[in-house]
Structure 1
């Protein structure tokens, strides 16, 4: 009797945990009891039965200097993950996002288990920086599950078989999100201007961006006494965000994960740290300003490797700065206040930006099938093609 298929999923931060949970669900729908799931992940993957040997919160690292500081911990967690693979002997290992961590895991697992199929779920954004990573990835894994069609050529040129699955962020179901109820529950007038702040999902982002946003909020409140401000507190950084925002003199409505999409729909303008959240905001129809800061030394090291014109995915897809971007030294309260103020004062500009954001999402594959289902199909095809022991 053939044993159940065993698949190992590895995620190192909140966004990867969400992708891993979606893939786990899709695999379970296809295989039922003929599937065993093991791996590394967070609470969402745990809900699907994947027991992680350690807490992934400390692995949410962004920036070269931050990576150097955490090198000892990362090295230990790579060893722990490879040991789990060696112990469990899965039929395939899926390495989700988190380039710095998962490429090390790929190499460690390959050394221990040369024949196990290694599948990378989300490739590095080589169109934006360090295109040489495409060749590195092609040498380390057997297959790539890419989010966007514009990703694929970079890796296929290096001989890495690639399946474009689409982004789960393009398929978020917001039908149950009620912006009117969101406002009413917090005592906001239906027509009051609402600024939604999304400070990020990594500790370094919260540390660097929250002071900028706090000053921006204070200045905007002085200009618009009737301005309502809400901020999303979610994921592994929720406690830190809550503590920082509660210390502000201006009232900020704190939004939990369950109310995030209603807040996005209710927002007049959003101020967001660059990341996947920009796609969700565009789906919700919220015109946005994008900001980002790295630790200064990290930015100085990384800056020569940035090759893309834009940080925001839908800006890249449209080859146009639809959502204004303020990166590093441009991410100042002066510039953010001016950018938000322009949209708050001009309803026509808000509507036009929201429309162009939506059109850009179509270029990214908004109408495609559920990405988790396509990813599950591709995983099983790779396993079948390699043969099971």
Structure 2
């Protein structure tokens, strides 16, 4: 009997844990008992059978102050991964997102065990920020699995490693995001369903809840028809959102959990959202939106280094700036409210977004017979086979 394929996976944060779990399911579906998987992951990967080297919470921190405060522990955990990989000599290593943690680990693995292929699942944003990372990645990354369709061309242009678009995991959730017949009423029917999405990080809630509330005040004064506001909130931020929304002139309905969030997307007629993956979720759901964002003073000073025409993921994926965005000093109620009002009826602004969103299925290859996880698994196994071949020489 042939030796099982040995795969080592490293997720650096909860979103990577979800991707890793889906990848593990796809690998097991292809190989059954013929695969051994070790590494670092969270609850989702643990449910798929991973015995994590340490809890994901040990490294899954956000914010410079938090990272600095836990730097000694994070470094110890990083070197424990490197030591285990070198000792186990797996056929392939898969690093999943969280590039500030996973890429330094990958570089050191390559330095100590250069024969082990390393696959990077989720490309760093080299197309927008610090493009010089791409050619450097070529030294230690065997293959990049991209979630965004424009990323392979970006890596080729920048001199990065081989890169394949495998598909965004949202493609696997289209039936949850898109309304059934009668679930979303027409834009001219009352009440208008408005979705407000102020972000999934404490800093985003802190910076956006006030201008979003002021925007709703102006919207309410000018809309001239009934409307309802829903905020899908991640559980650990729900109480903070409720507290901050108490001063809003319009009382929102705050819901928690993926099921409630998906249902709110299926009902929504329009949205006011923080920049992020949620803009792609809204676009795939067919919800026209206005996007806003505020960052810290230091981050604002670094904006000149950003190399893209839009910060809205939906715009970047479509290849056209159909969604209006209001960043930093432009993120004011006086600018947000008119843009939101322009989407509250059957207007040219609304139709332009809808027409752009209608192109997404083709752009993202949503009709493919294989899922993103299955396509990712196929490439991981191809790289692992190369690793086995090199080890046999």
The interval holding the TM-score normalised by the smaller chain is 0.7 to 0.9
**1:334 maps to which residue?**
334
Alpha-carbon distance, 1:244 to partner: 2.3
**2:279 maps to which residue?**
278
Judged with a 3 Å threshold, the aligned counterparts in structure 2 of structure 1 residues 361 and 204 are, in CA distance, closer, same or farther, namely farther
Residue correspondences, number: 380
Residue 240 of structure 1: which of 237, 251, 255 is its match?
Answer: 237
Alpha-carbon distance, 1:258 to partner: 1.7
Matches within 5 A, 1:172-211: 172-174=173-175, 191-211=190-210
Judged with a 3 Å threshold, the aligned counterparts in structure 2 of structure 1 residues 358 and 31 are, in CA distance, closer, same or farther, namely same
State the SS of the aligned residue for 1:194.
Answer: strand
In our comparison, the structure showing a higher alpha carbon Rg is 2
Whether the aligned pair in 2 keeps the contact of 1:61 and 1:204 (CA below 8 Å) is no
| TM-score normalised by the chain length of structure 2 | 0.84
Judged with a 3 Å threshold, the aligned counterparts in structure 2 of structure 1 residues 176 and 223 are, in CA distance, closer, same or farther, namely closer
**2:262 maps to which residue?**
261
State the SS of the aligned residue for 2:276.
Answer: coil
Tell me the C-alpha RMSD between the 2 structures: 3.1
| TM-score normalised by the chain length of structure 1 | 0.85
Q: Distance in 2 between matches of 1:57 and 1:278?
A: 29
Q: Distance in 2 between matches of 1:179 and 1:161?
A: 39
Q: Distance in 2 between matches of 1:67 and 1:337?
A: 37
Q: Distance in 2 between matches of 1:327 and 1:361?
A: 28
Whether the aligned pair in 1 keeps the contact of 2:215 and 2:334 (CA below 8 Å) is yes
State the SS of the aligned residue for 1:32.
Answer: helix
1:102 aligns with 2:102: yes
Q: Distance in 2 between matches of 1:180 and 1:87?
A: 56
Alpha-carbon distance, 1:92 to partner: 1.4
1:142 aligns with 2:142: yes
Unaligned 5+ segments in structure 2 are none
Alpha-carbon distance, 1:101 to partner: 1.6
Judged with a 3 Å threshold, the aligned counterparts in structure 2 of structure 1 residues 256 and 152 are, in CA distance, closer, same or farther, namely same
**Alpha-carbon displacement from aligned partner over 1:242-262 (angstroms, at most 9, x marks no partner):** 432255222333142123222
Alpha-carbon distance, 1:25 to partner: 1.1
State the SS of the aligned residue for 1:95.
Answer: strand
Unaligned 5+ segments in structure 1 are 185-189
**1:288 maps to which residue?**
289
**2:322 maps to which residue?**
322
